[in-house]
Structure 1
Amino acid sequence: MRFVVRRLLLFVAALFGLSVVVFAALRILPGDVASIMAGVNAPPEKAAQLREQLGLNRPLAIQYLDWMGALLHGDFGTSILTGRSVTSLVASRASITFPLIILGLLIALAIGLPLGCAAVLARSARVRAAFHVLAIIGGAVPALWSGLLLILLFGKGTGLVGILPSQGFPMDGWTTPGQALLALILPALSVGIIVGASLMRYTRSALGDLADSGYIDMARSCGMTRTQAVLRVGLRLATPQLVSVIGLTFASMITGVMVIENLFALPGIGNGLVTDVGNRDLIAVQSELFLLAAFFLGVGLVVDVLHRILDPRLKSADTVSEVAA
């Protein structure tokens, strides 16, 4: 409990620091925020009206406190362009982005974990080298290039085997789950292949360090084969490290799918954020950036707690440190 409380306090402190950074970042832009949102050729009266409407003529400290007070009550502001609340905008976009990330991560796990284990278990030096080259090539492929290649191969109307939609998302959303899932397959493959190559390298590195350790030797002395020892003992010992990598990968994929969402015309969080920035809807951008930052920190908090639970050695090390102190 002491560890969790300490992490929660750090989480709250980091959220406060990020809120200050996000708020200040949009206030230090060249020129006036209201003038930027109104447009270059807008008359001064429109900028003044917008400044009054958004409360931008008040002191910065008051603006920040009002914004934080609204956030604490679940009010993330209103989009100037659409008139919709930022909460509903983010929720509708998240219903596309998060399923895309989860599906891409599942594909990455299906690729990275088995191939990483196979690379460690391979006895031939040539086979290990082939896995190494495959991981490097897969990780070096740009997401834009892999997406275009998949569209040319499997996209309806343009691909050699046109079986999957390559543009847009159903207007009905997830009320038609079959069509919605089909719309995400090609984008998820584009992300999953690249992330899978990275997970393959991490898995191979984590298991490779354990393959020649005393843990594996002890397991083999109990009658296990090398393959059984690596998969049953080595993979279990490497689980805390892999959980950390997978959790941080999941968080980073939110920004990583921006290119994919634009390529496949998916109205997700990344695509929406780029659109809001381009349309100068800076009040919506301010809350969206804060929500993304809070999500990153939340995932980091969950990963820390899971790592602590899965690896008892961390608890033992802290106990020894406390006794020594």
Structure 2
Amino acid sequence: MISLLLRRTVSLFVTLLVVSALIFLVMGLLPGDPASIMLGTSASPDTLAALRSELGLDQSLPVRYLSWLGSALQGDLGRSYTYSVPVAGLIADRLAVTLPLALMAILMSVAIAVPLGVQAARHHNRPIDVAISLFSYVGIAVPAFWIGLLLILTFATTLGWLPASGFPGWGAGLGAALKTLALPAVALAIPQAAVLTRVTRSAVLENINEDFVRTARAKGLGETTAIWRHALPAALVPVLTMLGLQFTFLVAGAVLVENVFNLPGLGRLAFQSLSQRDIIVMQNVVLFFAAIVIIMNFIVDLAYLVVDPRLRAAEQ
């Protein structure tokens, strides 16, 4: 088991290194000159040259990459061209919004999807299954930002129960911050819950008539207990896979929802840095997103080994 963990950890770091090189290469080849964008078209050549030198843009791409990587390993991600603040602090501030939002959305998604998926599998081809399947189809088809707009119109504009946009900061109190994140979390959770419901339903259906579930019923366990205690744990591998994918999407792909609700999160920072041609912020945010995807896949792989002893035996 220890050797397996070591192999997976080495693979994790190698993947991160390769991805960082690819991201830096792509960002370095983007058209346009950040110095010209920052100073404007009327800047003199001497001023442009001085700024390029200050930003390190006059160095070769490999030298800039090694310098950036060395600084990143020491926790220094550089300084934003646009905001004139350290990028590490900028990402940390935005992560304080995006991470709680993603966690709230994923918890809501699981709380909705797993019971619905189990019930749909238990009542296969019955009216309950049809109704839950209809919810899944609608949830998958409707974009999260459109759900967000409907939530704003209903619960913020019409009923006035929750704020429509903005984020007061965690210093304003836990309740105020969570009230602000409630509507965007629901907007993100509903489409993810729809997908996860389908996955849970299919996975439980594959196991609900297996020998070990029938044996549990024969020993006197009720149908509900047999499904939740035996069929569902055996169906967790595809569910965990989808959860890993969903969490990375919720952290990295919530750009539209963060813009709809005017939230200062990582997705909005990525959009702003792209429009402002702030390369140092762009490449660090993209690398951060990629690292989240890679690390979540690593965690999901380890979770497989916990929930499925057959995979542990195969890895020995």
TM-score, scaled to structure 2? 0.95
Q: Counterpart of 2:260?
A: 263
Residue aligning to 2:165: 167
Any idea what SS the aligned residue of 2:83 has?
Answer: coil
Report how far residue 245 of structure 1 moved.
Answer: 2.0
Q: Secondary structure at the match of 1:274?
A: helix
Deviation of the 1:124 alpha carbon: 5.5
Cα distance in structure 1, aligned partners of 2:219 and 2:84: 67
Gaps of 5+ in 1: 320-325
Q: What's the offset of the Cα at 1:241?
A: 3.1
Q: Indicate the SS of the match to 2:235.
A: helix
Between 24-33 and 258-267, report the one with greater CA deviation.
24-33
CA deviations 1:282-305 (Å, max 9, x no partner) are 112111211221121111111111
How far 1:41 sits from its partner (Å)? 5.0
Asked if structure 1 preserves the Cα contact closer than 8 Å seen for 2:34 and 2:277, the reply is no
1:309 equivalent among 287, 306, 312 = 306
1:279 to 256, 260, 276: 276
Which stretch of the first structure deviates more once superposed, 267-276 or 237-246?
Answer: 237-246
AA partner of residue 115 (structure 1): L
Gaps of 5+ in 2: none
Question: How far has the Cα of 1:46 moved from its partner?
Answer: 3.4
Q: Report how far residue 72 of structure 1 moved.
A: 0.9
Change (3 A) 1:245 1:148: same
SS of the aligned residue for 1:135 comes to: helix
State whether residues 34 and 50 of structure 1, in contact with CA within 8 Å, keep that contact through their aligned partners in structure 2: yes
Aligned-partner residue type, residue 295 of structure 2: G
Write the distance in 2 (CA, Å) between the matches of 1:105 and 1:219.
31
Task: Summarize the alignment of residues 206-245 of structure 1 with structure 2, pairs less than 5 Å apart.
Answer: 206-245=203-242
8 Å CA contact 1:94, 1:268 repeated in 2: yes
Counterparts of 1:177 and 1:232, CA distance in 2 = 35
Please list the CA deviations of residues 138-186 of structure 1 after superposition, one character each: whole Å capped at 9, or x if unmatched.
Answer: 111111110010011001xx2x21110011010x434421111110011
CA distance in 2, matches of 1:60, 1:75: 19
User: 1:187-238, CA deviations, whole angstroms, 9 ceiling, x for partnerless residues?
Assistant: 0010111111111111101101111211211111111122221111111212
Partners of 1:301 and 1:47 lie apart in 2 by: 44
Structure 1 CA distance, aligned partners of 2:288 and 2:301? Answer: 20
Across the aligned residues of Structure 1 and Structure 2, the Cα RMSD in angstroms comes to 1.6
Residue 286 (structure 2) pairs with residue 289 (structure 1): yes
- Contact 1:241 / 1:307 at 8 angstroms: preserved in 2? no
Show the 5 A alignment for 1:115-264: 115-122=116-123, 125-155=126-156, 158=157, 160-170=158-168, 172-264=169-261
Q: Indicate the residue corresponding to 1:114 in structure 2.
A: 115
* Counterpart position of 2:59: 58
Superposed CA offset, 1:51-92 (max 9, x none): 110111122221111111101111011111222111110011
- The structure-2 alpha-carbon separation of the partners of 1:221 and 1:276, relative to structure 1 and needing over 3 Å to count, comes to same
In the alignment, the residues of structure 2 paired with residue 138 and residue 244 of structure 1 have an alpha-carbon distance, to the nearest angstrom, of 19
Q: Compare 130-139 and 140-149 and name the one that shifted more.
A: 130-139
Please give the alpha-carbon distance, in whole angstroms, between the structure 1 residues aligned to 2:124 and 2:56. 68
| 1:44/1:103 CA distance change after superposition, 3 Å | same
Structure 1 residues 218 and 180: CA distance shift in structure 2, 3 A: same
Letter in 1 for 2:140: G
Work out the CA distance in 1 between the residues paired with 2:219 and 2:42.
79
Q: CA deviation at 1:42?
A: 4.1
**Which digits, 9 at most, give the CA deviation of each residue in 1:18-45, with x for residues without a partner?**
1111111112122444334544554433
- The alpha-carbon distance between structure 1 residues 212 and 178, as it changes in their structure 2 partners (threshold 3 A), is same
- Identity of aligned pairs, percent? 36
**Distance (whole Å) between structure 2 residues aligned to residue 190 and residue 224 of structure 1:** 38
